């Protein structure tokens, strides 16, 4: 089993390499400005992206500020790096948003605003709309995260209760040239959803957002109103790393190892446990019927699942929950191994990127007096994989292209 689990880890490393800011930022940089260059940004990869800009443009007069998650900061030379709260915004998130808006004021047509965006930016750069406080925004975010809402829906709400998202940052930078470099962490790579689209027009309406709030049972404070975003936003938007790129890199690494890869998709969504059960069914079909592919094969997928918490208070993230459901569905089937990890290195709010499942996972758990099904119902998947020593611990990866899943049928 050591060989199979080592291959899964190798594929994860290959996926991360395809989204490494030091590699993907320099080729995507625009023409150097005739005037000043102000670098701003938000996200889990923002500091690493800023550092790449600073190294690539030593002859450009750079200034600016970016904000990243606590523990994800690296020195970025002439660009200041701030840290703030994620997945729920805190006081530093609001302070960072105000600093970023101030940086882009008073610029001219010869100046360039280079905006570095990656997953997590919605929380890290949070400026409440009129009628809302930061505490209001934090409460709404918490409620959305446990509601089962899709990430696109969550970000639609965030855009309409923000004074910087939904194209408002780009509008504030006018008349300067605005170029956004983005590392996508959202299914479908929608620019308006990545960090809630601070430099792109908002495609949703207040009425659509109100419907999301009504469906999830979330009420806004009486003083709040949903802000429509600017419809005419100037600037250039470039996707420099995406979940699909990461999956293709993993597929190439699988071929090099003599295993046929099958990419199931880069935008799988749904309840984590249900996705796990479906993926288990596909793996069992490969083993029993060579459909949709004969072994040896590795099934690769990305996207972002959700976990509807309800009243449970266990520990774990969407990837470990997906894996535990998959293991229960496989029920110890031989020759099937799986890895599921968040590419930012943090699955949920814990310290693990994700975990690995082997054919002996359930047997080892029960031998350790653990109840796999009970732990799944309690949303306590971290406890099981931690006890088995099967967590994947990377620490912050300084990038983020959403979840990565690999199922090896040996």
Write the pLDDT tens digit of every residue in 243-255: 999 999 999 999 9
Q: Residue 229: which pLDDT band, with cuts at 50, 70 and 90? A: confident
Please state whether the predicted TM-score (pTM) of the whole model is above 0.95.
no
Q: Which of 39-53, 66-80, 140-154 has the lowest mean pLDDT?
A: 140-154
Residue 31 has pLDDT above 90, yes or no: yes
Residue 312 has pLDDT above 70, yes or no: no
Both 47 and 189 in a single domain?
yes
Both 84 and 203 in a single domain?
yes
How much is the pLDDT for 315?
A: 82
Both 8 and 24 in a single domain?
no
Q: What is the mean pLDDT of residues 176-200?
A: 95
User: CA 323, CA 233: separation in Å to the nearest integer?
Assistant: 41
Residue 310 has pLDDT above 80, yes or no: no
Residue that terminates a domain, selected from 202, 226, 241: 241
Q: Which domain holds residue 382?
A: 2-16+244-409
| Cα 300 off chain centre by | 17
Residue 224 has pLDDT above 70, yes or no: yes
Residue that terminates a domain, selected from 241, 262, 284: 241
Buried b (16+ CB within 10 A) or exposed e, 40-57: bbbbbbbbbbbbbbbeeb
Both 142 and 122 in a single domain?
yes
Both 71 and 154 in a single domain?
yes
User: CA 386, CA 70: separation in Å to the nearest integer?
Assistant: 23
Residues 186/67/51/101 CA torsion (nearest 10 deg): 100
How much is the pLDDT for 1?
A: 78
Q: Residue 311: which pLDDT band, with cuts at 50, 70 and 90? A: low
User: CA 236, CA 105: separation in Å to the nearest integer?
Assistant: 19
Q: Which of 43-57, 192-206, 321-335 has the lowest mean pLDDT?
A: 192-206
Both 181 and 279 in a single domain?
no
Residue 37 has pLDDT above 70, yes or no: yes
Place of tokens 């060989």: 3
Say how many domains are in the chain: 2
More confident residue, 259 or 224: 259
- The mean pLDDT value of the chain amounts to 95
Q: What is the mean pLDDT of residues 67-86?
A: 97
Both 211 and 287 in a single domain?
no
CATH of the domain at 328: 3.40.1480.10
Provide φ and ψ at 257, rounded to 5°. Answer: -90, 5
pLDDT in tens, 122-160: 999 999 998 999 999 889 988 998 888 888 899 899 899
Sort residue 379 into left (φ over 0), alpha (ψ -120 to 50) or beta: left
Both 139 and 251 in a single domain?
no
Both 298 and 382 in a single domain?
yes
Both 292 and 223 in a single domain?
no
More confident residue, 138 or 92: 92
Residue 382 has pLDDT above 80, yes or no: yes
Contact between residue 310 and residue 143 where contact means Cβ atoms under 8 Å apart: no
Q: What is the mean pLDDT of residues 177-185?
A: 97
Instruction: Write the burial class of residue 17 (CB in 10 Å: 0-12 exposed, 13-18 middle, 19+ buried).
Output: middle
Contact between residue 349 and residue 317 where contact means Cβ atoms under 8 Å apart: yes
Residue that terminates a domain, selected from 226, 241, 256: 241
Residue 108 has pLDDT above 80, yes or no: yes
User: CA 159, CA 202: separation in Å to the nearest integer?
Assistant: 8
The residues, ordered by sequence, that sit 6+ positions from 353 with a Cβ below 8 Å of its Cβ are 12, 319, 341, 342, 343, 344, 345, 346, 347, 392, 393, 394, 397
pLDDT in tens, 94-104: 999 999 999 99
Both 295 and 332 in a single domain?
yes
CATH of the domain at 182: 3.40.50.10180
Both 309 and 377 in a single domain?
yes
Rounded to 10°, the helix 381-388/318-330 angle is 70
């Amino acid at each position: 089993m050591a060989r199979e689990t080592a291959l899964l880890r190798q594929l994860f490393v290959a996926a991360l390499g395809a989204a490494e800011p030091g590699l993907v930022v320099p080729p995507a940089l625009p023409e150097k400005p005739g005037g000043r260059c102000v670098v701003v940004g938000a996200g889990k990869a923002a500091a690493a992206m800023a550092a790449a800009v600073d190294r690539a443009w030593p002859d450009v007069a750079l200034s600016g500020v970016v904000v990243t998650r606590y523990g994800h900061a690296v020195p970025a030379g002439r660009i200041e790096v701030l840290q703030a709260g994620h997945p729920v915004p805190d006081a530093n998130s609001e302070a960072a948003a105000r600093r970023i808006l101030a940086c882009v004021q008073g610029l001219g047509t010869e100046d360039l605003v280079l905006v570095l965006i990656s997953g997590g930016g919605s929380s890290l750069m949070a400026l409440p709309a009129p009628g809302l406080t930061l505490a209001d925004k934090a409460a709404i975010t918490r409620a959305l995260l446990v509601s089962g809402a899709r990430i696109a829906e969550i970000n639609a709400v965030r855009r309409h209760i923000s004074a910087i998202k939904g194209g408002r940052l780009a509008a504030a930078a006018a008349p300067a040239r605005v170029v956004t470099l983005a590392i996508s962490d959202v299914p479908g790579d929608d620019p308006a959803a990545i960090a809630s689209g601070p430099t792109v027009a908002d495609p949703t309406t207040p009425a659509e957002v109100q419907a999301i709030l009504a469906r999830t049972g979330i009420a806004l404070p009486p003083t709040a109103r949903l802000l429509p975003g600017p419809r005419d936003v100037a600037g250039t938007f470039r996707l420099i790393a995406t979940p699909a790129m990461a999956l293709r890199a993993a597929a190439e690494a699988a071929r090099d190892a003599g295993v046929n890869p099958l990419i199931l998709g880069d935008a799988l969504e749904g309840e984590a446990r249900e996705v796990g059960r479906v993926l288990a069914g596909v793996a069992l079909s490969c083993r029993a019927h060579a459909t949709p592919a004969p072994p040896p094969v590795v099934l690769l997928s990305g996207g972002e699942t959700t976990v509807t918490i309800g009243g449970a208070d266990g520990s774990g993230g969407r990837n470990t929950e997906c894996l535990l459901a998959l293991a229960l569905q496989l029920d110890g089937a031989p020759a099937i191994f799986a890895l599921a990890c968040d590419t930012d290195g943090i699955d949920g709010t814990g310290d693990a990127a994700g975990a690995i499942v082997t054919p002996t996972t359930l047997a080892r758990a029960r031998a350790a007096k653990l109840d796999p099904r009970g732990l799944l119902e309690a949303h306590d998947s971290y406890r099981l994989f931690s006890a088995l020593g099967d967590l994947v611990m990377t620490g912050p990866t300084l990038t983020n292209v959403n979840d990565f899943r690999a199922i090896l049928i040996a």
